Every structure is written in structure tokens, then in C-alpha cells.
Amino acid sequence: MMPAKKIIAFIGAGNMTRALVSGLIQNNVPADHIWVSSPEITKRHYEQLHPKIHATTNNIEAVKHANVIVLAVKPTHMKLVCTELSAMILEKKPLLISIATGITIESIQKWIGNVDCNIIRTMPNIAAAVAASTTGLYAKSCISEGQKHWTESFFRSVGSTIWLENESQLDAITAISGSGPAYLFYIFEAMQNAAMALNIPEHIAKWLVSETAISATTMASESDDTFRQLRDFVTSPNGTTRAALNVLDRHQVQMIFKDAIEAAHVRAQELSKENS
């Protein structure tokens, strides 16, 4: 059973932690229920989000107060952090939520020294900062329904969620939606630069690209049509859209994206082996 009062300790204070904390605050999670720990952190890093957020440079201090721990450090630091916190975790038996790329539940359990740890792996994305993350979640069968429900609610407060059937799927989620915002920002940047080359002012170009992305995403999420069908709706024979798509096809952009996402997937798998 999960305690009624959840005190959440984020171990690691990078961009994803800030995004998650920002989303939680926007969704009325009490700020004094949130701890953030990092060797480099200072209070001012988080006081802009809310002055009552607890900030510390001492991981054990943060964990001492928490019944939910979010492991949000770089994959290369996970072993050191888990080893440092192992005694406290074994004593308190908190729910552990990992957002570290490529680090398996088996590895976390090994480093903590307890095969029965309550661990849920997740892969959110940076859009948690605006409560629009897409988060994949995975838990072994030993995790209680209450723990699963609370974790799902936690990430639903910063966006949408989906449970995965096996842990290996998280590497694919990492390559698609975890890293995905960067791919789209890359496209947006390219479209903005192209617009500016056509004498559209920078701020107008950004607005046009951003609003177009919102409208296209809204259509995709609210329609049962495939992406191909939606694309065909916009594309008239011998029209402007067809002229642009011909160029993209000539450069094999779909194949480029396939290769790029596969590279991200392979890297997620490599991180798992490197840090096991």
C-alpha cells in the first residue's frame, strides 16, 4: 500500500527533473512535498518554480524525508547513486521510479542489494515542463496495483502515459518519444530557417511553424486516419505540397528518420550494457 501522503525526492536536478517538478507544481502537487538533490544544486535553481521546494546537495538527506524516490541522474552515475542510497532504501522501502535511459530494473536491484525493491521504470520526455509529456512505464508483476496506479497518476499530472508489456520496449520508447521532441524541434528549426530565407521575420516564422505543428498534431490525435491518409488530404496532385514532398522523397527523408531512430535505439541498448 502507498502512504496517503507522498513526499517525492528527485535524485538529480537536470532538465528532466526541472520539467517534471514544473509540471507537478502546475498541477497543484504541494511544493513542500518535493525534494530535489544534486551536488551542484542551490536553492535559487528551484525557487523560481516555488519557494517551498526543498533543495539539498545531500542525496541521503532528501531520501530520508521521502516515500517516493525518482532516480533522475545520468546513466553513468546510477550505480554510484544506488550504492550510496542502498542502506536508506532498504530501511525505508520507498517506491523507486527510474527515468534513467537504458538502466534495467535488474541492475538497480543489484546495486541496491535487494531483489524485492519496489522499482518502476519510466521514460518521460521534456514536454513534462508544460504538462504534455508522453511517458512509457514498465513494472514487474510484483509491483502492487496501488503503486502502479499512483505512478500512472504521477506522470498523468505532466502528460499522457502508456504501460508497456516488456522492459525492452523502453529502449524503443526512448528512441521515439523520449528523444522525439528534439527531432521535431530540429524540423521546426529547419522550417523556420527556410521561412526566414523567404523574407519572413524570425518571430513570425517561429509562430507560423509552432501553430502549424499544433494544428497538425491536433488533427492526428483526433482522427482515426493514418498519417499517410492525413498527408494525402493536404497533398493535391501537381500542387505546392506535392512539390515539397517530391524533394523530401528524393532525399529519402523517411529512410533518414528510420536510421536516426534506430541509432537512438541502439544507443539506449548500449547504455544498458555499459552500465550493467
193 or 153: which carries more pLDDT confidence?
A: 193
pLDDT of residue 1: 42
In a domain, 3, yes or no: no
Please give the full DSSP string across 26-74, using - where no structure is assigned: HTT--GGGEEEE-TT--THHHHTT-TTSEEES-HHHHHHT-SEEEE-S-
Q: What is the CATH number of the domain that holds 68?
A: 3.40.50.720
The CATH number linked to 207 is 1.10.3730.10
Place of cell 505512478: 151
Q: Of 182, 194, 168, whose CA–CA distance to 260 is shortest?
A: 182
pLDDT tens-digit readout, 146-177: 999 999 999 998 899 999 999 999 999 999 99
Position 2 confidence tier, pLDDT thresholds 50, 70, 90: very low
156 and 196 together in one domain: no
pLDDT surpassing 90 at residue 63: yes
4, pLDDT greater than 80: no
The verdict on residue 175 lying in a domain is no
Mean of the per-residue pLDDT values of the chain: 91
